[in-house]
Structure 1
Amino acid sequence: MENTIINYHATFSKTSGISEAARANFAALKNSFLSVNKVNYIEKGDRFIKESILLSDSNNGEIINIYHININDISRFLLNNNIDSSSNSYNIAYWAWEFNKLLEEYIDLLSLFDEIWVPSGFCQNVFASYSFKPVIKIPHLIEAIEVEKNKSKIELQDKFVFLSIFDSLSTPERKNTDGLIQCFLDTFPNTTNVVLILKTVNLEKNKRLYKELIEKTKNQNSIILINENYTKKELIQLIDSCHSYVSLHRAEGFGLTLAEAMLRYKIVIGTAYSGNLEFMNNQNSFLVPYQLLQKDKDSGFIKQGYEYAEPDIENAKKILKLVYDNYENLEDIKLNAQQTIENYFSKENIGNLMRSRLEKINVLFEEKNNISLQKNNNLITENIRLKNDIKKYEKNLFIKIKTLLTHKKEKTNR
Structure 2
Amino acid sequence: MPGLRYLPLRYRLPLIHGGLNLLAHSRSNRWKKAGAVTPKPGPLVVSGFLTETLGIGRAGRMTAQALKTAGFAVVEHDLRPAFKHLLFQGAKLPGEGGVWLIHANAPECLVAFMAHSPETWTHRYRIGYWAWETPKAPADWVWIADYLHEVWVPSRFVHDAMVKAFIAGGRDDLVPRLRIMPHPAPQSVAIRYSDAQQKFGLDPDLCEVLCLFDTKSGAMRKNPWSVLEAWREAFPEPADHARLTLKVSDMSGDRESEHRLTRALAMRPDIRVLTERLSDADMDALLAASDVLISLHRSEGFGLTLAEAMASGVAVIATGWSGNIDFMNDRNSRLIPARMIALHDPDGPYCQVSGRPDQIWAEPDISAAAVALRDVTMDAVVRRDLIVAAQSDVRALDKPWQPEALRTLAFNLYLGARKS
Same-fold status (TM-score > 0.5): yes
Query: Could you say which residue in structure 1 is the equivalent of 2:46?
Result: 8
> Are the aligned partners of 1:46 and 1:76 in contact in 2 as well (CA < 8 Å)?
no
The 5-angstrom pairing of residues 344-359 of structure 1 reads 344-346=396-398, 350-352=401-403, 355-356=406-407, 359=409
Q: CA RMSD in A?
A: 3.1
User: Which of 391, 395, 419 in structure 2 is aligned with 1:338?
Assistant: 391
Query: Could you say which residue in structure 2 is the equivalent of 1:374?
Result: none
How far 1:47 moved relative to its partner?
A: 7.8
- Residues of 2 paired with 1:44 and 1:221: CA distance? 47
> Are the aligned partners of 1:268 and 1:286 in contact in 2 as well (CA < 8 Å)?
yes
Q: After superposition, what is the alpha-carbon deviation per residue over 1:167-198, rounded to whole angstroms, capped at 9, x for unaligned?
A: 22001101111111121122123223321111
- Residues of 1 paired with 2:45 and 2:143: CA distance? 23
**Aligned pair 1:178/2:178, yes or no?**
no
User: Which of 194, 200, 222 in structure 2 is aligned with 1:150?
Assistant: 194
Query: Could you say which residue in structure 2 is the equivalent of 1:249?
Result: 297
User: Which of 213, 223, 226 in structure 1 is aligned with 2:261?
Assistant: 213
Q: Do the aligned partners of residues 81 and 151 (structure 1) sit closer, same or farther apart at CA in structure 2, a change above 3 Å counting? A: farther
Query: Could you say which residue in structure 2 is the equivalent of 1:391?
Result: none
Query: Could you say which residue in structure 2 is the equivalent of 1:405?
Result: none
Query: Could you say which residue in structure 2 is the equivalent of 1:32?
Result: 70
- Residues of 2 paired with 1:43 and 1:189: CA distance? 50
Query: Could you say which residue in structure 2 is the equivalent of 1:276?
Result: 324
- Residues of 2 paired with 1:110 and 1:2: CA distance? 20
How far 1:257 moved relative to its partner?
A: 0.8
How far 1:28 moved relative to its partner?
A: 0.6
User: Which of 97, 100, 109 in structure 1 is aligned with 2:135?
Assistant: 100
**Aligned pair 1:138/2:181, yes or no?**
yes
**Aligned pair 1:294/2:342, yes or no?**
yes
* Structure ID, larger Rg: 1
How far 1:82 moved relative to its partner?
A: 5.8
- Residues of 2 paired with 1:269 and 1:254: CA distance? 15
- Residues of 1 paired with 2:308 and 2:341: CA distance? 28
How far 1:247 moved relative to its partner?
A: 0.4
Q: After superposition, what is the alpha-carbon deviation per residue over 1:353-381, rounded to whole angstroms, capped at 9, x for unaligned?
A: 77335x42344899xxxxxxxxxxxxxxx
Task: Look up the SS of the partner of 2:316 in the other structure.
Answer: strand
- Residues of 2 paired with 1:321 and 1:315: CA distance? 10
Q: Do the aligned partners of residues 301 and 24 (structure 1) sit closer, same or farther apart at CA in structure 2, a change above 3 Å counting? A: same
Q: Match for 1:55: what amino acid?
A: P
Return 5+ residue gaps in structure 2 as ranges: 1-38, 167-173
**Aligned pair 1:361/2:361, yes or no?**
no
Give the alignment's TM-score, normalised by structure 1.
Answer: 0.78
Q: Match for 1:355: what amino acid?
A: L
- Residues of 1 paired with 2:344 and 2:411: CA distance? 42
Q: Do the aligned partners of residues 11 and 314 (structure 1) sit closer, same or farther apart at CA in structure 2, a change above 3 Å counting? A: same
> Are the aligned partners of 1:291 and 1:312 in contact in 2 as well (CA < 8 Å)?
yes
- Residues of 2 paired with 1:364 and 1:7: CA distance? 12
Task: Report % sequence identity.
Answer: 25
**Aligned pair 1:321/2:382, yes or no?**
no
Task: Look up the SS of the partner of 2:252 in the other structure.
Answer: helix
Query: Could you say which residue in structure 2 is the equivalent of 1:226?
Result: 274
How far 1:21 moved relative to its partner?
A: 0.6
Q: Match for 1:295: what amino acid?
A: L
Give the alignment's TM-score, normalised by structure 2.
Answer: 0.77
Mean alpha-carbon deviation: is it higher for 167-176 or for 190-199? 190-199
Q: Match for 1:178: what amino acid?
A: W
Q: Match for 1:18: what amino acid?
A: I
- Residues of 1 paired with 2:71 and 2:415: CA distance? 20
Task: Look up the SS of the partner of 1:339 in the other structure.
Answer: helix
How far 1:279 moved relative to its partner?
A: 0.8
Q: Do the aligned partners of residues 98 and 71 (structure 1) sit closer, same or farther apart at CA in structure 2, a change above 3 Å counting? A: same
- Residues of 2 paired with 1:2 and 1:103: CA distance? 32
Q: Match for 1:274: what amino acid?
A: S
- Residues of 2 paired with 1:231 and 1:68: CA distance? 21
Q: Do the aligned partners of residues 333 and 69 (structure 1) sit closer, same or farther apart at CA in structure 2, a change above 3 Å counting? A: same
Query: Could you say which residue in structure 2 is the equivalent of 1:402?
Result: none
Task: Look up the SS of the partner of 2:200 in the other structure.
Answer: coil
> Are the aligned partners of 2:109 and 2:128 in contact in 1 as well (CA < 8 Å)?
no
Q: Which protein has greater RCO, CA pairs closer than 8 Å, 6+ apart? A: 2
Mean alpha-carbon deviation: is it higher for 217-226 or for 77-86? 77-86
Q: Do the aligned partners of residues 137 and 29 (structure 1) sit closer, same or farther apart at CA in structure 2, a change above 3 Å counting? A: same
Task: Look up the SS of the partner of 1:205 in the other structure.
Answer: coil
How far 1:104 moved relative to its partner?
A: 2.3
How far 1:25 moved relative to its partner?
A: 1.2
> Are the aligned partners of 1:145 and 1:233 in contact in 2 as well (CA < 8 Å)?
no
Query: Could you say which residue in structure 2 is the equivalent of 1:117?
Result: 152
**Aligned pair 1:22/2:66, yes or no?**
no
Q: Do the aligned partners of residues 79 and 361 (structure 1) sit closer, same or farther apart at CA in structure 2, a change above 3 Å counting? A: closer
How far 1:127 moved relative to its partner?
A: 1.5
How far 1:273 moved relative to its partner?
A: 0.4
Query: Could you say which residue in structure 1 is the equivalent of 2:103?
Result: 68
Corresponding pairs, count = 359
> Are the aligned partners of 2:104 and 2:129 in contact in 1 as well (CA < 8 Å)?
yes
Q: Match for 1:345: what amino acid?
A: L
Q: Do the aligned partners of residues 231 and 295 (structure 1) sit closer, same or farther apart at CA in structure 2, a change above 3 Å counting? A: closer
> Are the aligned partners of 1:243 and 1:267 in contact in 2 as well (CA < 8 Å)?
yes
Task: Look up the SS of the partner of 2:215 in the other structure.
Answer: coil
Q: Match for 2:372: what amino acid?
A: I
